[in-house]
Amino acid sequence: MSYVDEIIEQVITKNPGEPEFHQAVREVLESIRPVIDANEEKFRRDALLERLVNPERQIKFRVPWIDDNGSVHVNTGYRVQFNSAIGPYKGGLRLHPSVNIGIIKFLGFEQIFKNSLTGLPIGGGKGGSDFDPKGKSDREIMSFCQSFMLELSKYIGADTDVPAGDIGTGAREIGYMFGMYKRIRNVFEGVLTGKGLSFGGSLARTEATGYGLLYITEELLKDHGIDIKGKTAVVSGAGNVAIYAIEKAHQLGAKVLTCSDSTGWVYDPDGIDVAALKQIKEIDRARLTEYKKYRPNSEYHEGRGVWQIKADIALPCATQNELDIEDAKLLVANGAIAVCEGANMPTTEAATKYLQENGVYFVPGKAANAGGVATSALEMSQNSERLSWSFGEVDSKLNGIMVNLYHNIAKAAEKYGYKDNFVVGANIAGFEKVLDAMNAQGIV
Ligand code: NDP
């Protein structure tokens, strides 16, 4: 059996009940197969893949907190410090009832390659909790965040592990966690990114993932002789990534027709009204049912369905495995040109394959949404320098990073004979740098 197949089998056996983690490992190892096969003997001797797929450290802890009625609740907290070969662990904290160790491991594993692709010195990690922020008061959110940080603070630090936001963790949660870290450790340092602007946050971090997604989409299309201006797009999600993806798409002259949340979706033939979306989601923290009040011409539907709307570009920006084979068939039948992932692993394996086989340009999340973590790394640089850069300065660095990233993955794909296969390109380009660093640092 080949070394790659052996490791995929081992991961499934050793990590039962973690299908998302198996999926992420399989996707990466399958696409770096050409590199592994060419060096199989050496890599096997060094147990390189075993070291790659086993986190350096995984921490699981109890998070007790008290609600507004005085009742105590207990959630589970996680931090997976996956790989520090090229820099301190870096990756977000997800707060969502679906969180479990398998989800955090899948995200942490993906993060290794994504962070490497940014060209910045950051290793891979991820964390979170099964806590559900929905419907909680500010005090309850604070109670949870403080308790979470009381434990997490033992394992993180500005030069060790620098968490950030993710689903359910926005500026409010980062603020409460940062305050608690400072109180416990008595040190004001860039231990978290996504901070408020008054205490070390970076301009353009809020916008970075969505904007970066559009910068790479624009470059992909340009590279294939297509102008993004005048194109239509379908977007899923209505959170941080989706909102700023829609905003930048409109700035670039494309028209976004849809968005969604966990209960339903909106079709707006005149183009999504970003100001209304921000009011509903960022300020009122309400459901998308409210959207029709702002735009009477729009339609609201329960459930999922954005991929049935005909458009040139599809940008899944909600959560993992939200675009399946049936959705992929609809996109192809409707003549979609490109699918670029704003979320992490939103497209199932079968859907990805179908899109690629049918000539749709497909850019995986680890490349397409890397603008968020790249700008987090820029926030770390500003914190180390004790300086703040202007919005324009950060945004132009972000643009440069995404354009370079696109060409790096395109080149890597072509070098190994997989022109325009950006999954292979992203995995190989991300892996090569990590591999080099792991080899140089010995068996650790
Ligand atoms: P948010 O919490 O801000 O928004 C998530 C959106 O997706 C919300 O609209 C939410 O609906 C919807 N959603 C969440 N879970 C589900 C589900 N199970 N089914 C259907 N809809 C769901 O998160 P972000 O925008 O920050 O993150 C979105 C994705 O992007 C995630 O995969 C994340 O890992 C990835 N990502 C985020 C980065 C960032 O900088 N924020 C960086 C890189 C990747 P509702 O409004 O009802 O909660």
Average pLDDT for runs of 10 along the chain of length 444: 97 98 97 94 97 98 98 98 98 98 98 96 98 97 98 98 96 97 98 97 97 98 98 98 98 98 97 98 96 98 98 97 98 98 96 98 97 97 96 98 98 96 97 97 95
Q: Residue 420: what pLDDT?
A: 98
Q: Residue 4: what pLDDT?
A: 97
Ligand 1: atom nearest CA of 318 is 7
Asked if 239 and 167 count as a contact pair (C-beta separation under 8 A), the reply is yes
Using one digit for the tens of pLDDT, what is the confidence trace for 207-242? 999 999 999 999 999 999 999 999 999 999 999 999
Pocket of ligand 1 (CB under 6 A): 165-168, 209, 237-242, 261-262, 317-319, 342-344, 369, 372
Going by alpha carbons, the residue nearest to atom 21 of ligand 1 is: 262
Going by alpha carbons, the residue nearest to atom 11 of ligand 1 is: 261
Tell me which of 112, 131, 211, 241 to substitute to probe ligand 1's pocket, judged by most ligand atoms within 8 Å of the beta carbon: 241
Q: Residue 438: what pLDDT?
A: 97
Q: Residue 5: what pLDDT?
A: 97
Q: How far does the centroid of ligand 1 lie from the alpha carbon of residue 344, in Å?
A: 9
The structural domains of the chain, ordered by start, are: 55-189 (3.40.50.10860), 208-368 (3.40.50.720)
With a CB cutoff of 8 Å and minimum separation 6, the contacts of 424 are 31, 412, 413, 416, 418
Question: How deeply is 233 buried, as exposed, middle or buried, from its count of CB atoms within 10 A (0-12, 13-18, 19+)?
Answer: buried
Q: Residue 431: what pLDDT?
A: 97
Q: Residue 288: what pLDDT?
A: 98
> Does 182 participate in catalysis according to the annotation?
no
Single-letter amino acid, residue 281: K
Alpha carbons 226 and 218: distance in angstroms, whole number: 9
Ligand 1: atom nearest CA of 169 is 2
